[in-house]
């Protein structure tokens, strides 16, 4: 039997209505199951997320820590560089000062050499009839052998003052070691007041100013007290040596090497 189209339409409408009525019930069952599924999904994903955050925090902390350490090292290095730069500048300034002082000293030294040469020339050489004549000894000094002697017979000075006078003229008190020295002493025997020589008491013994002492064979040894009294110096007078207080005022004899002019 062929059903009319109208009946089919009505039957389809009835089925659709029935489905519509039953649909909420089925949907409600499905929605009631979703919260549990979400809880399981959240619990399963929370641990990895927490681990990731923890790793991220550790990385950030390490980055901040090492960044601070690096900045501290950079600050220390910058301070060291600044200090080294300052020290280098000070050394350069000191070097420049040393170079400047050295140049001044060289200039002064050259001037002194020129002055010394001129002084030596004037001291040993004198103009006579428009000509310069040079001698082995300065004017006023006596030549004996290879040495020059200056005799001060009467201008009394203490032993120390007499020695300073000799030193001021590039010489020293006479030390009697050879025949020339003895000849000089013989030459001054006519001066009765005596003359200081470079011999004095040191530590209970007699010492020449060149550091040498008297020997047993030296005749001076038998003319002076064997035990040298403190503050005593030797005077040569009338062919012999006597011991006098170094503070007494006597003449004196200076000696220095003759020039090679």
Task: Provide the residue ranges of all domains of the chain, joining segments of one domain with +.
Answer: 142-257
Task: Kindly report whether the global pTM for this prediction surpasses the value 0.85.
Answer: no
pLDDT given at position 184: 79
What is the pLDDT tens value at each position of the chain, 261 positions in all? 445 555 555 555 556 555 544 544 444 444 444 555 555 655 667 778 888 888 888 898 888 888 888 888 888 888 889 899 889 888 988 888 888 888 888 887 777 655 555 555 555 565 656 666 667 788 888 888 888 989 887 768 999 999 999 999 889 999 988 777 877 777 776 666 789 999 999 988 999 999 988 876 667 777 888 888 899 999 988 788 889 999 999 999 999 988 765
Distances (CA, A) of 247 to 7, 131, 198, 203, 250: 168, 45, 14, 18, 9
Structure tokens at 149: 């002697």
CATH for 142-257 is 3.10.100.10
Q: What is the pLDDT of residue 208?
A: 92
Q: How far is CA 233 from CA 42, 53, 242, in A?
A: 118, 103, 8
The dihedral built from the CA positions of residue 208, 143, 188 and 253, taken in this order, carries a sign that is negative
């Amino acid at each position: 039997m062929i059903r009319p189209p109208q009946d089919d339409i009505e039957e389809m409408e009835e089925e659709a209505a029935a489905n519509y009525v039953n649909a909420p019930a089925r949907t409600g069952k499905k929605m009631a199951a979703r919260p549990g599924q979400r809880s399981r999904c959240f619990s399963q994903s929370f641990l990895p997320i927490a681990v990731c955050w923890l790793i991220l925090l550790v990385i950030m902390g390490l980055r901040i820590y090492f960044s601070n350490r690096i900045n501290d090292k950079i600050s220390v290095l910058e301070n060291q560089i600044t200090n080294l730069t300052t020290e280098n500048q000070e050394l350069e300034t000191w070097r420049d000062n040393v170079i400047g002082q050295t140049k001044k000293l060289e200039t002064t030294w050259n001037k002194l050499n020129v002055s010394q040469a001129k002084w030596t020339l004037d001291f040993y050489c004198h103009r006579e009839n428009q000509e310069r004549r040079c001698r082995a000894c300065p004017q006023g000094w006596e030549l004996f052998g290879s040495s020059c002697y200056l005799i001060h017979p009467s201008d009394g000075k203490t032993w120390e003052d007499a020695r300073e006078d000799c030193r001021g003229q590039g010489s020293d008190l006479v030390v009697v070691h050879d025949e020339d020295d003895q000849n000089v002493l013989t030459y001054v025997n006519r001066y009765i007041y005596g003359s200081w020589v470079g011999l004095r008491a040191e530590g209970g013994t007699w010492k020449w100013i060149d550091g040498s002492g008297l020997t047993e064979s030296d005749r001076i040894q038998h003319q002076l007290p064997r035990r040298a009294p403190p503050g005593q110096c030797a005077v040569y007078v009338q062919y012999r040596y006597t011991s006098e207080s170094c503070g007494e005022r006597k003449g004196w004899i200076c000696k220095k090497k003759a020039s090679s002019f």
